[in-house]
Amino acid sequence: MSSASLGFFDSGVGGLTVVRAVQELLPAENILYLGDTARLPYGSKSPETIRQFADEDVRFLIARGVKAIVVACNTATAHALPSLHEKYRIPILGVIEPGVEAALACPHALRIGIIATRGTIRSHAYQHALALRRTGLMIHGQATPLLVPLIEENWLDHPATRQVLKTYLDPLIEKGIDTLMLACTHYPLLIPVLREILPADVRLVDSATTCAEHLKVELSRLGLLEPSAREGTLELHLTDLSEEFEALARQFLLKSPGRIHRATVGG
């Protein structure tokens, strides 16, 4: 099984930031990615619908023989991961726990800000996971729904994006946060501009890098690391194909995505 592909899924192509981080850390791994672009965004759906979609995504990946699955979507991790663990025996990892562990790796982290989609903030998944691990934390969740459209327009350094970020971040800065969690897989693309806007002493924790590091530890523990030294392959499947999604995939991967396959899930 160690030479089988790793499976990843997200509602769109934002989870490719996680794929990119995994490729940098584990370049020999073969990766099969499913983006449910026909039914995005998951963040505006009910928890029941998100669980149904996530279950169908997992079944698609398992049918293709993957050795482990990464839920490369904060909303799906928040609402569906427990039910997926109950139903399937294959290793399934989310993006929330690795981020929480990374945020609390600093013993001085006391005031933690979280920026995410409305669905992730409403789920309280990050807030709950943080509070379980350390008492006395000041946790401030901020829904940031305008960021994903701006990122997908590739307006990463646009004045409008800076103004929106400032509007979202000013209340968190005023509360004296020492850590900011980027709880959406799109948001790592904003790290350069975030470093300019935030005070220098605010730590940034992103779900892509932390998930990749956690995945490496888990694969090693389970004896599932790819043994060869060759460069791994990337196979992309999207439930809706368009030139827009191909351009976004290139943007998130920082390279050509290669051939993209049309996928059918559910039904």
Q: Which residues are catalytic?
A: 73, 184
Q: Which of 117, 63, 111, 110 is nearest to 95 (CA)?
A: 117
Encode 73-102: b = buried (16+ Cβ within 10 Å), e = exposed. bbbbbbbbbeebeeeeeebbbbbbbbbbeb
Look up tokens 């379980």; give the residue: 132
Q: Which of 48, 49, 70 is nearest to 58 (CA)?
A: 70
Q: Which two tokens stand for residue 47?
A: 């928890």
Q: Which two tokens stand for residue 205?
A: 């924790």
- CA-to-CA distance for 2 and 5, rounded, in angstroms? 8
∠ CA 63-214-246, nearest 5°, is 55
DSSP string, 31-93: EEEEE-GGG--STTS-HHHHHHHHHHHHHHHHTTT-SEEEE--HHHHHHHHHHHHHH--S-EE
Q: Which of 78, 1, 62, 12 is nearest to 237 (CA)?
A: 12
**Peptide bond between residue 149 and the one before it cis (omega within 30 degrees of 0):** no
Q: Reduced to 3 states, what is the DSSP secondary structure of residue 3?
A: coil
Contact 14, 184 (CB under 8 A): yes
